[in-house]
Amino acid sequence: MVLTKLRGLPEGFLWGASTSAYQVEGESLTHGKGPSVQDTKKVPEGTSGFTVCADFYNHYKEDIALMAEMGFKTFRFSIAWTRILPQGTGEINQEGIDFYSSLIDECISHGIEPLVTMFHFDLPDALEKKGGWSRRESVDEFVNFAKILFENYGSRVKYWLTINEQNMLTLSGEAIGTTSFEGVTNKYKKLYQENHHMLLAQAKTMALCHEMCPGAKIGPAPNISLVYPASCKPQDVLAAQNFNAIRNWLYLDMAVWGVYNNLVWKFLEEHDAIPDIVDGDMDIMKSGKPDFIAFNYYSTATVEADLSANDEESSSRDQQTAGDEPGVYKAYKNTNLPTTQFGWEIDVEGFRATFREIYSRYRLPMLVTENGLGAYDTLTEDGKVHDQYRIDFLRKHIEQIKLAVSEGCEVMGYCPWSAIDLISTHEGIVKRYGFIYVNRDEFDLKDLKRYKKDSFYWYKKVIETNGEDLSD
Catalytic residues: 165, 370
Among 153, 249, 351, 417, interactor with ligand BGP by CB under 6 A: 417
Detail the DSSP E strand segments found in 152-195: 159-164
Question: Stretches 97-105, 164-172, 199-207, 390-398: which one binds ligand BGP (CB under 6 A)?
Answer: 164-172
Angle at 80 between CA 125 and CA 463, to 5 degrees: 145
Among 105, 427, 441, 472, interactor with ligand BGP by CB under 6 A: 427
Residue 333, CB-side half-sphere exposure with 13 Å CA sphere: 6
In the complex, least distance from residue 427 CB atom to ligand BGP, rounded to whole angstroms: 6
- 345 forms part of the interface with ligand BGP (CB under 6 A): no
**Please, are residues 248 and 222 in contact by the beta-carbon 8 Å criterion?**
yes
Among 261, 300, 302, 425, interactor with ligand BGP by CB under 6 A: 425
How far is residue 461's CA from residue 472's CA, in Å, rounded to a whole number? 9
Using N-to-C axis directions, what is the helix angle for 56-70 and 454-464, rounded to 10°?
A: 50
- 374 forms part of the interface with ligand BGP (CB under 6 A): yes
Among 223, 261, 302, 371, interactor with ligand BGP by CB under 6 A: 223
Q: Letter for the amino acid at 138?
A: S
Size of the site for ligand BGP (CB under 6 A): 15
- 440 forms part of the interface with ligand BGP (CB under 6 A): no
> Would you say 50 or 355 has its CB closer to ligand BGP?
50
Cis peptide before 287 (omega within 30 of 0): no
Strands 366-370 and 293-296: what pairing?
A: parallel
> Would you say 230 or 373 has its CB closer to ligand BGP?
373
> Would you say 152 or 167 has its CB closer to ligand BGP?
167
In the complex, least distance from residue 376 CB atom to ligand BGP, rounded to whole angstroms: 12
Backbone angles phi, psi at 230, to 5 degrees: -65, -25
Which residues on neighbouring strands pair with residue 240, listed in sequence order? none
- 165 forms part of the interface with ligand BGP (CB under 6 A): yes
- 300 forms part of the interface with ligand BGP (CB under 6 A): no
Question: Stretches 182-190, 251-259, 387-395, 420-428: which one binds ligand BGP (CB under 6 A)?
Answer: 420-428
How far is residue 22's CA from residue 435's CA, in Å, rounded to a whole number? 19
Which string of x and - marks every residue 267-296 that binds ligand BGP (by CB under 6 A)?
-----------------------------x
Question: Stretches 80-88, 146-154, 160-168, 319-327: which one binds ligand BGP (CB under 6 A)?
Answer: 160-168
> Would you say 253 or 370 has its CB closer to ligand BGP?
370
**Please, are residues 349 and 401 in contact by the beta-carbon 8 Å criterion?**
no
Among 93, 164, 261, 455, interactor with ligand BGP by CB under 6 A: 164
User: 376 CB contacts (<8 Å, ≥6 apart)?
Assistant: 341, 430, 431, 432
**Please, are residues 150 and 204 in contact by the beta-carbon 8 Å criterion?**
no
In the complex, least distance from residue 34 CB atom to ligand BGP, rounded to whole angstroms: 20
- 260 forms part of the interface with ligand BGP (CB under 6 A): no
> Would you say 73 or 431 has its CB closer to ligand BGP?
431
Among 370, 377, 387, 421, interactor with ligand BGP by CB under 6 A: 370
> Would you say 9 or 438 has its CB closer to ligand BGP?
438
In the complex, least distance from residue 22 CB atom to ligand BGP, rounded to whole angstroms: 8
Produce one character per residue of 6-38: b if its CB has 16 or more CB atoms within 10 Å, e if not.
eeebeeebbbbbbbbbbbbbbbbeeebbbbbbb
Q: Which of 52, 36, 83, 38 is nearest to 425 (CA)?
A: 38
- 76 forms part of the interface with ligand BGP (CB under 6 A): no
**Please, are residues 100 and 153 in contact by the beta-carbon 8 Å criterion?**
yes
| DSSP per-residue letters across 372-393 | ---B-----TTS----HHHHHH
| DSSP per-residue letters across 87-119 | TSSSS--HHHHHHHHHHHHHHHHTT-EEEEEEE
- 431 forms part of the interface with ligand BGP (CB under 6 A): yes
- 171 forms part of the interface with ligand BGP (CB under 6 A): no
The site for ligand BGP (CB under 6 A) is made up of 20, 23, 164-165, 168, 223, 296, 370, 374, 417, 424-427, 431
